[in-house]
Amino acid sequence: MALSILANLNLLLGIFNLMPFPPLDGAGVVEGAGPTPVVQLYEKLREQPMLPMLGLLVAWYSFGYLASWALDLNIFLALGVRTGWLA
């Protein structure tokens, strides 16, 4: 049970941290791998003082949708491997 909780918590923290909003690490991934116009947009967003706070609010409110989808997928995969569905 504890291992399951730790795995789910790690999954949720990873998803939250990789959301592509400027104060989170996902914005750095988009800047590094994105096309030039997107990179320039993110550079301009980093210069604005209030936009990182707005990015955190957007991430906070959209996280519930992503988290429920990810947890459902995680449970499906765990049950599939355990019962032999995905073997």
Tens-digit pLDDT profile for residues 51-71: 777 777 777 777 777 778 877
Mean model confidence pLDDT for the chain: 76
pLDDT reported for residue 58: 77
Cβ neighbours of residue 17 closer than 8 Å, sequence gap 6 or more: 24, 25, 26
**pTM assigned to the model:** 0.55
Dihedrals phi, psi of 19, to nearest 5 degrees: -70, 140
Each residue's pLDDT tens digit, 1-22:
677 778 778 888 887 777 777 7
Does residue 58 sit within a domain? yes
Helix (H) or strand (E) holding 82: helix 51-83
Does residue 44 sit within a domain? yes
Closest CA to 71 of 30, 10, 1: 10
What is the average per-residue pLDDT within 81-85? 61
Cβ neighbours of residue 56 closer than 8 Å, sequence gap 6 or more: 21, 23, 24
pLDDT reported for residue 74: 76
12: domain range? 7-83
Give the chain's domain count.
Answer: 1
